Structure 1
């Protein structure tokens, strides 16, 4: 989500789905080693695999649950989550102010509900990390509010299987996201220390002539890396999830040394390996994705990626819109003593 370029440009690298332990491979392209002279914007489009066509990590032995939020209480658990509170727009010209109000993020009935509302709101013009250490804080007023929840400072992980079961919003200008940022800027400011976008979707349900069912149903998984903006790069995969608006679905990644898989309802649809990302600050082939990252959940309104796709702009008539989350879970691979198909997968 951070400082996402306004338009995604199709480029030369493909990221495919690879079956584990005998399953049929949908695609297994040879990774193209990238570096500072490589294309800065790489986007692949892949088909969503069917049953038996790709790795299914949940069926593998050795996964140990290390963190979860089942949203079973009556309020957001502040021991697990914090809130970003600003009207910055994420560097994407998004139209919302993020708040910590229950009007924008509430827990009840076993669900977290993040609600984007059309309402005037005034708040800090910059996120906390960009504000001056002293003096007056610049304020700005925007026409929408929403919530951005983070585990920063409370929970972070290096490697694991990270999943969210959620029901996504629909309409032009909606931009739900489930993603990760580094806990520490080991390799430098964004995007030098990396970003892992587990799930992004924009404008779901709007008319789309090229989409199955003639409605927008694209989901994206993306890595941001390279150098500090504007010397950054990204490598993204898109796929059509035909039933994405039909209730709850599970979105996730399996992140291991030198490899990241993206999953939809338990099946891998995209894979990126070392050599398909790079770091301006390290010669390690796994950098920057070899450090601890924390989780982020948010629902943005508008912004470059959303407003330049679909029927363009923001539909002013569809609000409020919600992203409902059933649970968020993190497992780590502890394969010692495991038999059969292992969570270590195919490296």
Structure 2
């Protein structure tokens, strides 16, 4: 999420950071060290923190603070739209839990909010884990549905904990309360997991850093970024946006498909070997969408079904083949006695051991589970409850991505869990996906 923190004794240009400080020549010179080949996803992740937003009203105060206002630039002592010319005034009350989602709501009010002599007609929300939750390395993902209105700018992103912006835990602060921009961007680091503008059929994956080593006040000409703009079909529908982050690189994903990657081992990218905090916001107008909001399209909402943070699991890509233990002491099995052809049914069966049944031995390879040279696959990449699972040629699609979360196996593409219909434990029970519900019917754990 752009934030031009210009603290010189001159007004801001209003340009988006990526236009102002791309430093194309420098980034091009570094490109050989920044660009790396697509990597396989981590085989298994341990879910260590999450917010499913299943409550009502205010979000969980144990997890969330708020950035309020229009982004005071302390160097100029003026509001500058968070450095990007944005229109909105952020208020915590514009973030609520409803219907199993975090709802970020943008309103166009007939009576303005007046602060420091400025009229603000548009309100929205920016919610952050700043000072509440920090993250360093692992997988961070959120399932989101986005607005497509003119001038809309939803984002899911992170700032380094070294960034010195302010935030508040108050859900209903005084109408005149506001927070300020960080003075030390971009040397504190920024990772944009997902940004979207207008009705675009693309999203933005981006990263910002300072070309020096260390934390400094914002300095013109010292900042760089590295960006990709992958296509996404129908952003108004739910999609899973994620990064996988190690000490050596950051990889971006949409619905389990890698869309961007950067090597963070160069010395001047040390920002990304430190803790970060999360931010969701719904901005309005400004330099990134490049279009003004339209009153008749309000109110706008961005929905967050969940946000989850995983750390490295016990398995590694290409790990040993073992059984997947299912309900009632059964095992995940492939119909056909070790023949394993395309479209072979995946079912429950009495556990028989590796010496007897090869098709009960599954190995992680990236986020895929493989046996007999093929992958555990959701039929037709379906997302509906009751869609069957099968064995199929490994093809890199989201239909074949799985994550172990405690005692369940979840398919991020559908956000559904591997499931035995009605909790059956009978031999030959055909497995399916179903909304994750924590029942015994969804107890599937790959043995170490």
Q: Under a length normalisation based on structure 2, what TM-score does the superposition of the two structures give?
A: 0.55
Residues 104-163 of structure 1: per-residue CA shift (max 9 Å, x gap): 111122111110111244366xxxxxxxxxxxxx46321200000000111011111000
Judged with a 3 Å threshold, the aligned counterparts in structure 2 of structure 1 residues 12 and 267 are, in CA distance, closer, same or farther, namely: farther
What is residue 172 of structure 1 aligned with on the other side? Answer: 150
What is residue 111 of structure 1 aligned with on the other side? Answer: 101
Distance in 1, matches of 2:234 and 2:251, equals: 21
1:199 and 2:198 are equivalent in the alignment:
no
The Cα shift of 1:244 comes to 2.3
Judged with a 3 Å threshold, the aligned counterparts in structure 2 of structure 1 residues 242 and 99 are, in CA distance, closer, same or farther, namely: same
1:300 corresponds to which of 276, 279, 283? 283
What is residue 310 of structure 2 aligned with on the other side? Answer: 331
Give yes or no for contact 2:134–2:276 (8 Å, CA) kept in 1. yes
2:206 corresponds to which of 197, 222, 227? 222
1:162 and 2:167 are equivalent in the alignment:
no
1:100 and 2:78 are equivalent in the alignment:
no
Distance in 1, matches of 2:51 and 2:280, equals: 12
SS at match of 1:317: helix
1:6 corresponds to which of 13, 16, 20? 16
What is residue 436 of structure 2 aligned with on the other side? Answer: none
1:74 and 2:56 are equivalent in the alignment:
yes
Give yes or no for contact 2:243–2:252 (8 Å, CA) kept in 1. yes
Residues 67-102 of structure 1: per-residue CA shift (max 9 Å, x gap): 10000111311111111111222111100000011x
Give yes or no for contact 2:68–2:89 (8 Å, CA) kept in 1. yes
SS at match of 1:289: helix
Judged with a 3 Å threshold, the aligned counterparts in structure 2 of structure 1 residues 90 and 287 are, in CA distance, closer, same or farther, namely: same
Instruction: Decide which structure has the larger Cα Rg and report it.
Output: 2
- Matched residues, number: 273
Structure with the larger RCO, 1 or 2 (CA within 8 Å, 6+ apart): 1
1:122 corresponds to which of 91, 113, 120? 113
Aligned-residue CA RMSD in angstroms? Answer: 3.1
Distance in 1, matches of 2:114 and 2:40, equals: 43
Structure 1, unmatched stretches of 5+, are 16-29, 35-43, 45-53, 125-137, 205-215, 279-283
SS at match of 1:335: coil
Distance in 1, matches of 2:52 and 2:141, equals: 12
**More helix by proportion, 1 or 2?**
2
Give yes or no for contact 1:56–1:267 (8 Å, CA) kept in 2. no
The Cα shift of 1:336 comes to 6.2
What is residue 255 of structure 2 aligned with on the other side? Answer: 265
Q: Under a length normalisation based on structure 1, what TM-score does the superposition of the two structures give?
A: 0.71
SS at match of 1:74: coil
Distance in 1, matches of 2:50 and 2:253, equals: 18
Judged with a 3 Å threshold, the aligned counterparts in structure 2 of structure 1 residues 242 and 175 are, in CA distance, closer, same or farther, namely: same
